[in-house]
Structure 1
Amino acid sequence: MTKSHSPRIAVVIPAYKVRSQILNVIAEIGDIVSSIYVVDDCCPDDSGALVRAECLDPRVHVIRLPKNLGVGGAVMAGYQAAIKDGMDIAVKIDGDGQMDPRYIVSFIEPILAGEADYTKGNRFFNLDSLDQMPRGRLLGNAALSFMSKLSSGYWDLFDPTNGYTAIHCEVARHLPMKKISPRYFFESDMLFRLNTLRAVVVDIPMDAK
């Protein structure tokens, strides 16, 4: 990080059918974060409206998409808002409570230290925690990991479908946002696009949940 000011950290939360969890997720986000972008992906449960009505955190900005774009489209909308507002790093977590906000510091540290442009979670680092993950999902993730290594070129990464990520906003600025897969292959496509930018990607150990 070359800027002299304190780094401005943003959190992007795609919101789709997370009405019962989203407020608790926001409440657990620490003071290190400057802005929180809740991207209502045309949610039928009006998750964004709930946040506007009941969340008093001044860091929160609700972005309502006119049509459902999928998780990738929602994240890109959050990235664009973070870039426009001058954020330095954008951390993406889900709104369903399965990604512990306490990990945010671990995700941004390598980026702040200049050791990474993009960080992502790795649930395979601690083998004991994998007992919580169904065996079929483990096997599927292993297969996807190999396919992702082939397509992205990041041979030392694991758990490519993990959606807990952080990105330097200067790198996000150069992503072809309209071309990135908006739905099921979003995380893997992100790795492919990052490799074309020669971005440094680092895995962050986290427990499976």
Structure 2
Amino acid sequence: MKIAVVIPCYKVTRHVMDVLAAIDDAVAAIYCVDDACPDGSGALIQASRTDPRVTVLFHPHNRGVGGAIKTGYRAAIADGMDILVKVDGDGQMDPALLMDFVAPIADGTADYTKGNRFWNLSHIRRMPLLRRVGNLMLSFMTKASSGYWQVFDPTNGYTAIHARVASHLRLDAVSDRYFFETDMLFRLNTIRAVVQDVAMDARYADETSNLRVSRILGEFAFKHVRNTLKRIGYNYFLRDLSIASLELIAGLGLLAFGSLFGLYHWIASASADVTTPVGTIMIVMVALISGLQFLLAFTGFDIANVPRQVLHRSIQVNRAVPPVARPR
């Protein structure tokens, strides 16, 4: 299989050449995407490169890390690559681990692999505390919005994907910026691709993060809720109608009825200064408890309903993927 590496380049001039030098000889092509880098990362790579595998692509305007990755994906698909690995140019991701991400795809056990920095508990303390706490919260939200309940560390950008699967994704619809990795999981679930975690250790040195939690917190929360609703609607009411669909309807209906019925009678009893009848209280409690049980049953079904059949074995590359404009 032809392996390609995609490296988004934005303010990575201090590390990117070391990253390029460490990439495995088994890699057939390397696509460095200068995302309108103010430090001239692309020009530096062009001036210093000695590796014929390296191609530098330029964005006239900054599109974010997701936009850069999508440009690299399209170029690699157009060039006939089979497995596309994304590596950051800031030195946080060890290129020596690259084949660990390729192997499950090449073996036919996964369509998409992603790093997980939480496997080795003895190394978790190396991660800054704020990142640890943020990852815990984001991981749970991502499980719900993507449907991949078995994966963790959703913001980990060390990933690999089969070109056939990437070509069938609506790349234009995937988020361009920091929500890219999370949005990719949601899009992968819509086509029922198999996702697998790969244990890894991150390296933290003098790299500068461009991510500001205060700026993206509200955006991430909104997009997670949106993707959760879209995924449930698509998987349980458009693609299929199963017992879980009925459990969800019953659960939400009973919870809504119990809440509204109980609130109405509580207000009425309080206004009349009388005690709410025991029968009314029992109706409310039965509705709320039954609704909660139905929702728990639906959640259990959803957790077990992760994709298990590898997709790339049964599909071909989608040749309708828009080509990438190459620099002259």
TM-score range, shorter chain: over 0.9
* Aligned partner of 1:32 among 23, 26, 29: 26
2:85 aligned to which of 84, 91, 106: 91
What amino acid is aligned across from residue 61 of structure 1 in structure 2?
Answer: T
Match status 1:174 vs 2:168: yes
2:179 alignment partner in structure 1: 185
Residue 64 of structure 1 is matched in structure 2 by 58
**1:53 counterpart residue number:** 47
Shift of 1:173: 0.2
Question: TM-score by structure 2 length?
Answer: 0.61
Quote the offset at 1:184 in angstroms.
1.8
Residue of structure 1 in register with 2:155 after alignment: 161
1:138 and 1:202 mapped to 2: Cα distance?
A: 21
Counterpart for residue 104 of structure 1: 98
Instruction: Name the amino acid aligned to 1:167.
Output: I
Structure 1 counterpart SS, 2:173: coil
Aligned mates of 1:24, 1:119 — CA distance in 2: 24
The C-alpha deviation readout for 1:152-182, integer Å capped at 9, x for no partner, is 0000000000000000000000111111111
Q: Distance in 1 between matches of 2:2 and 2:168?
A: 19
Q: Give the Å deviation of 1:136.
A: 2.1
Structure number with bigger Rg: 2
Is the partner of 1:106 in helix, strand or coil?
helix
Which of 128, 133, 151 is residue 127 of structure 2 equivalent to?
133
Letter in 1 for 2:119: F
Could you tell me which amino acid in structure 2 is paired with residue 143 of structure 1? M
Could you say what secondary structure the match of 1:204 adopts? strand
Q: Is residue 200 of structure 2 the alignment partner of residue 201 of structure 1? A: no
Aligned equivalents of 2:201, 2:127: Cα separation in 1: 10
Q: What is the CA–CA distance in structure 2 between the aligned matches of 1:105 and 1:71, rounded to whole Å?
A: 23
Partners of 2:91 and 2:175 in 1: CA distance: 24
2:299 corresponds to which residue? none
Q: What is aligned with 1:4?
A: none
Give the conservation status (yes or no) of the 8 Å contact 2:94–2:202. Answer: no
Q: Which runs of 4+ in 1 moved over 6 A?
A: none
1:39 aligned counterpart, secondary structure: strand
Which amino acid is the alignment partner of residue 60 of structure 1? Answer: V
Higher relative contact order (CA 8 A, sep 6+): 1
Pick the aligned partner of 1:12 from 6, 18, 28: 6
Corresponding residue number in structure 2 for 1:73: 67
Contact persistence 2:118–2:124 (CA under 8 A): yes
Where does residue 267 of structure 2 map in the other structure? Answer: none
Distance apart, 1:208 and its partner CA: 2.8
- Mapped contact 1:130–1:208 kept (Cα < 8 A): no
Q: Identify the structure with the greater strand proportion.
A: 1
The match for 1:119 is: 113
Checking the alignment, whether the CA contact within 8 Å between 2:19 and 2:95 is kept in structure 1 is yes
Render the CA deviation track for 1:85-125: whole Å, top value 9, x for unaligned.
00000000000011000111100000001000000000000
- The SS at the match of 2:172 is coil
Equivalences, count? 203
Q: Secondary structure at the match of 1:178?
A: helix
Please tell me whether the aligned partners of residues 9 and 35 of structure 2 are also in contact (alpha carbons under 8 angstroms).
yes
Unmatched runs of 5 consecutive residues or more in structure 1: 1-6
The residue that corresponds to 2:208 in the other structure is none
Partners in 1 of 2:140 and 2:125 — Cα distance? 21
Asked whether the equivalents of residues 117 and 201 of structure 1 are also in contact (C-alpha less than 8 Å), the reply is yes
Output the aligned Cα RMSD: 0.6
- Give how far 1:66 is off: 1.1
Find the aligned partners of 2:150 and 2:31 in 1 and give their Cα distance. 31
Which residue does 2:138 correspond to in 1? 144
